[in-house]
Amino acid sequence: MVLARPRYTLPLCNAALDIVLLVAAVHVVDAYRLTLRQPWPLWKQDYGPADQFFLRNAYHALPPEPITAIWLGTLPATILAAAVSETFFPNGWLGWRLSSPFDFRWVCLHFCFAFIVWYGIGRWTENRPRWRNVVAVLVLIRIASAPAFLRFAGGGWAALPALLLWTAWIAVGVLITWEAVIHLLRRFGSTAKSM
C-alpha cells in the first residue's frame, strides 16, 4: 500500500497532529480570553510593523502551550520558519505576539516546512531500516507529549515533554550529521584511493 510508506505517513500524521494542536490553541486562547474583564477579539491578525523593543522584551507574552508543542514537534521546520519570518515579515518571528490566537502566516510557513522535513525524514528512513526505530521513538515522544501541551500555561506539566522533544531532536541531528560525515569520508576516501 502506498500510504504505508514513511515518506507519506510521517508528513500526514504530523499535519494531523499539528491541526489538532492548532484547534486546541484556539480553544485554549478563547477560554483564557473569556476570563479577562475586557477580552480581546479571538481572531485578530496584526501584520503591521510594531515597536521592536516591545516585541523583544515582552516576556510575559508567551505563546499558548499548543503552539509550543507545534514548535518543538518539528524543530527544524520551526528554525526555518523563524529564519524566513525574520527575513521577510515586518515583525520577524515574534509576530505571533501581535496576532491572536496564532500568526496565520507563520503557521502556513511552518506547515510547509514541516511537511518537507517529515517527508525527507520518511524518505531517508525507507532505505535505512535501523533508523526507523530512531524516528519511531521521535514520533512516539511527539504523540505522547501532545496532551501535556493542551493548556494555556503549562506550568510544570509541559516541561518534561519539552525537554524530551529537545533532546530527541538534538540526538537525531547529531546522528544524521554523524552518518553524513561517515558517508562523505567513505565517498571521498574511495575517490582518493582510485586515483
- Residue-averaged pLDDT of the chain: 77
The rounded distance, in Å, linking the Cα atoms of 114 and 80 is 9
Using the predicted structure, report yes or no on whether residue 34 has a pLDDT greater than 80. no
| pLDDT at residue 12, rounded to an integer | 86
**181 φ/ψ angles, rounded to the nearest 5 degrees:** -65, -45
In the structure, what pLDDT confidence band is assigned to residue 116 with cuts at 50, 70 and 90?
Answer: very high
In the structure, what pLDDT confidence band is assigned to residue 175 with cuts at 50, 70 and 90?
Answer: confident
**88-92, 93-97, 100-104, 109-113: which is most confident:** 109-113
| pLDDT at residue 149, rounded to an integer | 78
The rounded distance, in Å, linking the Cα atoms of 70 and 100 is 16
Residue closest to 68 by CA, chosen among 166, 135, 168: 166
In the structure, what pLDDT confidence band is assigned to residue 114 with cuts at 50, 70 and 90?
Answer: very high
Cβ-count burial 55-92 (b if 16+ within 10 Å, e if not):
beeeeeeebbbbbbbbbbbbbbbbebbbebbeeebebb
Using the predicted structure, report yes or no on whether residue 78 has a pLDDT greater than 80. yes
> What is the reported pTM?
0.75
Query: 42-51, 80-89, 182-191 — which is least confidently predicted?
Result: 42-51
The rounded distance, in Å, linking the Cα atoms of 89 and 83 is 10
Q: What would the pLDDT profile of 131-160 be if each residue is shown by its tens digit?
A: 888 888 888 888 888 887 776 555 566 777
Residue closest to 73 by CA, chosen among 115, 122, 106: 115
- Scanning 48-128, the segments in alpha helix (DSSP H) are 52-57, 65-73, 75-88, 104-126
Using the predicted structure, report yes or no on whether residue 195 has a pLDDT greater than 60. no
Q: Please give the C-alpha separations between residue 5 and each of 14, 15, 116, 176, in angstroms, as whole numbers.
A: 14, 16, 15, 20
